[in-house]
Amino acid sequence: MTAGVSIQSVFQRYGSAVALDAVSLEIEAGEFVVLLGPSGCGKTTLLNIIGGFAEPTEGRVLIGGRDMAGVAPKDRPTTTVFQDYALFPHMSLRDNVAFGLRMRGVSRAARAARAEAMLALVGLEGRGDRRPHELSGGQRQRVALARALAVEPEVLLLDEPLGALDLKLRRNMQEELKAIQRRVGTTFVHVTHDQEEAMAIADRIVVMNAGRVEDFGPPRQVYLHPKTLFTAGFMGEVNRIPVVGGQAPFGPVPVPDGTLCLRPEAITATGSLHIGLCKVEDAAFFGTHVRVHVAPLTSPDLRLVVHLPQAAVPEVGAVLDLGAEAYVVLQA
């Protein structure tokens, strides 16, 4: 069971504050969509509106083509994995996972079997008799996921579900989330402020800022061809170079006027967009790459961040001939 979500010019206002400003999105059935943005950008508000925990001030939300206006969370085809897991501490894992089925009148035996199957799906087979307090954070997260998926929702909402986990566990869980999503085929709408997490799991990323959708597309597109300066900066580090009348500070460039955005790893010795000779100011080995700050000889006040390949051993003071392989020009 899976369904698309259509969000049509949704506004959310709290007094004079605007939490969501004319948000429109078409999420397709079976898609893994990540709402990405800094805290306070409205991503959680949007998730709450889809889940029915808040009613939009204006606009419509359709799930599987049905208008959700006035439909309570319990009657929506959505379930949520909460940031704090919100497991029921007085119930065994089996009863936690089976809770939604119990509310739907499924017989005890059938829901126990289904709960075991769901626990197996998240890698906790045979632990149905345990209590939530006996589990680690990552395991609790899995139980919350199993509980939300047990009722076969059409859309699963995930509210920063990996926020409380340490980095290594978070990376593992990302892969697992993605694999589980492919297996069950449910539409996943996942909220996070971590752009690496978003790129790791999303089919499409919705970049949000100040209540608006800044960008919406596959990770590659959002990272390499951002629509706005905000997206460019939020998705990763970027060198911003003003271009006026075909002139960048380091010389003429064959691009329209605006802000030329260069990712540090897109600047190489062979790049086609010629920057020219640059002096190395400092360099640091980061494992996967060497991070250096350079200043073009033609414009010594400009600082560019460049990620050179692991094998490069740039001396401070050395002069490199650099160019950009990929770039975008954005208007402020």
Partner 1 sequence: MRVLSWLYLAVAYAFVFLPVAVLVAFSFQDGRLPVPPFRGLTLEWYAKVLGNDDLMAALGNSLLVAVVSSAVALSLGFLAAHALARVRLPGSALMRGVLIAPMTVSYLIIALGLLTVFNYFGIRPSLWATGIGHVVINLPLCFAISYAAMGDHQRSAERAARDLGAPEWKVLLLVSAPMLAAPLAAAFFLSVTFSWDEFIIAFLLTRFDVTLPVEIWSMLKSGLSPATNAMGSLVFLVSVTLVILLEILVFRRAK
314 in Cβ contact with 280 (< 8 Å): yes
The conformation of residue 91, written as its DSSP 8-state character, comes to S
Binding mask 104-143 for partner 1 (x = CB under 8 A): x---------------------------------------
Size of the site for partner 1 (CB under 8 A): 23
Q: Which is nearer to partner 1, 111 or 263 (CB)?
A: 111
267 in Cβ contact with 289 (< 8 Å): no
Q: Which is nearer to partner 1, 133 or 168 (CB)?
A: 133
Shortest distance in whole angstroms from residue 155 CB to partner 1:
12
Stretch that binds partner 1, among 81-89, 187-195, 244-252, 308-316 (CB under 8 A): 81-89
176/88 Cα distance (integer angstroms): 23
Which of 218, 243, 265, 211 shows the shortest CA–CA distance to 58?
A: 211
Q: What φ, ψ does residue 200 adopt, rounded to 5°?
A: -70, -30
Look up residue 185 and give its two tokens: 């085929």
Strands (E), 129-238: 155-159, 187-192, 204-209, 212-217
Q: Which is nearer to partner 1, 140 or 204 (CB)?
A: 140
296/58 Cα distance (integer angstroms): 51
Stretch that binds partner 1, among 5-13, 69-77, 180-188, 305-313 (CB under 8 A): 69-77
Binding mask 218-247 for partner 1 (x = CB under 8 A): ------------------------------
Residue of 40, 73, 246, 300 that binds partner 1 (CB under 8 A): 73
Stretch that binds partner 1, among 80-88, 238-246, 256-264, 304-312 (CB under 8 A): 80-88
Shortest distance in whole angstroms from residue 274 CB to partner 1:
56
Residue 82, interface with partner 1 (CB under 8 A)? yes
Residue of 32, 99, 216, 327 that binds partner 1 (CB under 8 A): 99
Look up residue 76 and give its two tokens: 């929506």
* Binders in 150-209 for partner 1, by CB under 8 A: 151
228/215 Cα distance (integer angstroms): 7
46 in Cβ contact with 7 (< 8 Å): yes
> Angle at the Cα of 263 (from 258 to 266), degrees rounded to 5?
115
Residue of 34, 68, 148, 149 that binds partner 1 (CB under 8 A): 148
211 in Cβ contact with 18 (< 8 Å): yes
Q: Which residues bind partner 1 (CB under 8 A)?
A: 51, 53, 72-75, 78-80, 82, 84, 86-90, 99-100, 103-104, 147-148, 151
